[in-house]
Chains A and B, each alone.
Chain A
Amino acid sequence: MSPAISVRGLRKQYGAFAAVDRVDLEVETGEILALLGPNGAGKTTTVEICEGYRTRDAGDVRVLGVDPATADREWREHVGVVLQTSGFTEELTVRETVAHFASLYERPREIDGLLDAVGLTEQAGVRARKLSGGQQRRLDVAIGVVGRPELLFLDEPTTGFDPEARRHFWDLIRRFREDGTTILLTTHYLEEAEALADRVAVIVRGRIVADSTPATLGGRDHASAIVRWVDHEGAHEVRTDTPTQVVAELSARLGGEASELTVSRPTLEDVYLQLIGATS
């Protein structure tokens, strides 16, 4: 099966500044790809070119087999977009808003079921302008998926969510994936990428610097483990490829429990910060 998104040698220039510089990216049908990167790295530019919102200066882009720059309105039947910020028709209720967007598609989702899925059943009769930030975001998502898209773009969908709302949102996204929806997600939250994504791509200064599963990003799976404990001499930290042996020796030497013992590997965040060249 051909990939849902295929980007080759993508380049976008603003004046002398190359916001996207020879980006290659593929998103397989049915997978969730998280595109990570600092602000201004080219995430949104890349995504908006794939969404057909921006033109490109060079490179080849195929989204569901079509070049988004020349795609017709019919292509939009199959592509759902949740932008970072977009307005509502303020005086329409949640239900009216979703129903209106449903009317724009040939085979929309059933409205009550969708409101239930995004957790807006109680707010169905509330006008859009009166929703809280999190509720507005859920309405954004409802509008984005109301047309049963094969491919869904989510641009920083959970910014401003509290931890519980974020977990609920993740469950919702997983359900869309189970339905077979391909998802391209951009996010600032590493734990979000780890929880949702099959694959993670990191973009820095307009270039993809890493592209793999969350567990193997940046050689994370091969990285040394760190064993930390505390004894009467103070805190200890040992970097090792054989943590089990270190702990066994420690146990034998101390003749009992080691205080505050932890064995850890670099988190996705550690690897990410290293990739984008930040000092943690």
Chain B
Amino acid sequence: MNGRTLELGRNRTSVELRNLWRNRQAFGFTILFPVMMLVLFASIFSGTVDGTTVQMSQVYVAGIMGSTLMSTGFVSLAIGMAIERESGMVKRLAGTPMSTTAYFLGKVGMVLATVALQTALLIALGVVFFQMELPQSTSAWLTFAWVFLLGVTASTLLGIAVGSMISDSRSAPAVVNLPFVALQFISGVWISVTLLPKWLQMVSQVFPLHWICRGMRAAFLPDSFKTVETGGAWNLGIGALVLIAWCVAGFWICTRTFRWTRQ
């Protein structure tokens, strides 16, 4: 990757962000949806998590931060790419000297900026209304940082990979929401993972969303909360490996499935 590619990636990011920001409906939905889910869940389910002093609402803030990250990086991105391809925009860009890497960088930049805004908003709401505390130590902030970055990278690469494979934009929401909704239920966003049958807990740990959400809990909840996690420990080393593996797999699929045009 050279300076020119980075420069074009930055140009693409700017174009993507302006396009999102100026579409008031799309932008409003992007911002309000996670907020709505947080307010609903954190208000409906009150009390502490069994065996801990942690409020249910705090767990939901961490879980919704994780699922929002994947929703923007994976779901919205894949659907957006399918629409962009169908509109002929991708074909138009294919006719220019821009590299695929610059195109991908634009997507990554857009997702990063959007998720950063969403996450900041969720943290602010969590702290102000739902008894959540900001990470208390440098190491907790570092945990948040690497979980965030690896989570965004894995989600975005998978979003591009899947978005490149969808041939009809009308089917895109169904194609990407099916795995995403299932993952949310088994990854501890809405239901504690420990309530799942053992085999489903194992399945859950294969996927990135489990580790993104667990990482967010590790960063934002008291360390003692780990006693109610699967295996009674955070096990974030495994989480890092799983996320890195998904990044590598996502990148590999991207470079092999993305075509500027279909034959």
Report if A96-B18 is in contact (Cβ < 8 Å); known contacts: A53-B261, A73-B98, A77-B97.
yes
User: Is A159 on the interface with B (CB-CB < 8 A)?
Assistant: no
CA distance A87 to B89 in the complex (A): 4
* Interface of chain A: mostly helix, strand, loop or mixed: loop
Per the 8 Å Cβ criterion, residues 190-247 of B in contact with A are none
Contact A100 B97 (CB under 8 A): no
The residue among B15, B92, B99 with the most chain A CB atoms within 10 A of its own CB is: B92
CA distance A96 to B88 in the complex (A): 18
* Interface residue from B15, B91, B263 paired with A55 (Cβ < 8 Å): B263
Residues of A within 8 A of B96 (CB): 76, 101, 104-105, 147
User: Is A85 on the interface with B (CB-CB < 8 A)?
Assistant: yes
CA distance A74 to B2 in the complex (A): 14
Residues of A within 8 A of B260 (CB): 53
Interface residues on A, range: 20 to 34
Q: Which residue of A lies closest to B26 (CB)?
A: A91
Q: How far is the CB of B46 from chain A (nearest CB, A)?
A: 41
Q: Which residue of A lies closest to B89 (CB)?
A: A87
Contact B18 A143 (CB under 8 A): no
B1-26 vs A, CB cutoff 8 Å, 1 = contact: the mask equals 00000001001000100110111000
User: Is B168 on the interface with A (CB-CB < 8 A)?
Assistant: no
Contact B95 A81 (CB under 8 A): yes
What residues make up the interface of A, taking CB atoms closer than 8 Å to B? 51, 53-55, 73-74, 76-77, 79-81, 83, 85-92, 96, 100-101, 103-106, 127, 143-144, 147
What residues make up the interface of B, taking CB atoms closer than 8 Å to A? 8, 11, 15, 18-19, 21-23, 84, 86-89, 91-92, 94-99, 260-261, 263
Contacts A87-B84, A91-B19, A100-B11 known; 20 new A-B pairs at CB < 8 A: A53-B91, A53-B261, A54-B261, A54-B263, A74-B97, A76-B96, A76-B97, A85-B88, A86-B92, A87-B89, A87-B92, A89-B15, A91-B18, A91-B23, A92-B18, A96-B15, A103-B8, A104-B8, A105-B97, A106-B97
